[in-house]
Amino acid sequence: MAEERALAMVTCTAPVNIAVIKYWGKRDNDLILPINSSLSVTLHQDQLKTTTTAAASRDFTEDRLWLNGEEADVGHPRLQACLREVSALARLYGVEGELSEVARRGSGSACRSMLGGFVQWQRGERPDGRDSLAHQVAPETHWPELRVLVLVVSGEKKQVGSTAGMQTSVDTSPLLKHRAEAVVPERLALMMRHIRERDFEGFGQLAMRDSNQFHATCLDTFPPIFYLNDLSRHIIALAHRFNAHHGRTKVAYTFDAGPNAVIFTLADTVAEFVEVVRRSFPPATNGDQFVRGLPVGAASLPEELLAAVVTEPVPGAVRYILHTKPGPGPQPVEDPSQHLLGADGLPRRCA
């Protein structure tokens, strides 16, 4: 028989997801088990994705990891937990099983990115975490008109990391406990109904309310955690003025553990709202690169809308807008030339 090949390699891309019913707090830090279920929208990889190459060889003597071209510590407990579950990527070895469980061990919310479209991460009840899994509520094709605008206001590292922030909230916030036990279960059922019925009014209202309550639990934490900044609050107020002017919910914001705004809207509203953002936060230096991702058409704003919605502009406050939509889950990359590693298992730039 021919000798087994010395090197096995696979490359995959993975998407980002944005929670509309938030996860915050763990009941088991080792297994990454949440105190409540959550629900997210997977964003399209044509606009936002990560690319990972994994290689395995009998000749390798140790595990090594590079992140954005820089070698990283493979001793991190979360990474080791993933490596214990599968000895690299599942597809590399043909591993059978529930991959969202493996992803959860690395980062809780990452398990939702194992599926496209609209995804629920179920809290689960078992102490071993085997039922804390991600399930697709609807595919990315379910709501073709839905669009997502990411308003990037800061790329700085947050002062309180999510892991530390969650633990402090679990330890000190009575509101978080009430939210997990009494609020989230009802909201999850309602949000899934809004998605299935493609009811943007209901979807948008609930997404905003849940984002607000998540940040209220951060404020209820002691000492309090501040993920939103003044610009975040300006964007929230802008969205409410825009909706009030139109007499219905045309845009909906949500904020994760950071100041960047994620705006949900429908395709026929994108151009007008992008122009509102441009007028409210005029780009300082990158006017031609201010809007990225999916194309956005031109829009002229009526004077009454400008008067009601656009207040005193804050130039340069929003760095850029990324326009995208729901998309699929992880995708294998079949072209060997796209591998990030060379035949020796090292990053191509270092080979």
How many whole angstroms separate alpha carbon 16 and alpha carbon 341? 23
List pLDDT tens digits, range 256-293: 999 999 999 999 999 999 999 999 999 987 678 999 99
Give the list of residues 6+ apart from residue 206 with CB closer than 8 angstroms, or none: 20, 21, 187, 190, 191, 194
> Angle CA(84)–CA(73)–CA(52) in degrees, nearest 5?
70
Give the list of residues 6+ apart from residue 316 with CB closer than 8 angstroms, or none: 281, 282, 283, 284, 285
| The pLDDT of residue 350 is above 60 | no
> Angle CA(342)–CA(334)–CA(87) in degrees, nearest 5?
65
Q: Yes or no: say if 149 and 265 are a contact pair by the CB < 8 Å rule.
A: yes
What is the reported pLDDT for 193? Answer: 98
- Residue 59's pLDDT band, with cuts at 50, 70 and 90, is confident
How many whole angstroms separate alpha carbon 83 and alpha carbon 130? 17
What is the reported pLDDT for 351? Answer: 41
List pLDDT tens digits, range 231-260: 999 999 999 999 999 999 999 999 999 999
What is the reported pLDDT for 20? Answer: 98
What is the reported pLDDT for 141? Answer: 98
> Dmax of the chain from CA atoms?
78
- Residue 83's pLDDT band, with cuts at 50, 70 and 90, is low
> Three-state DSSP class for 82?
helix
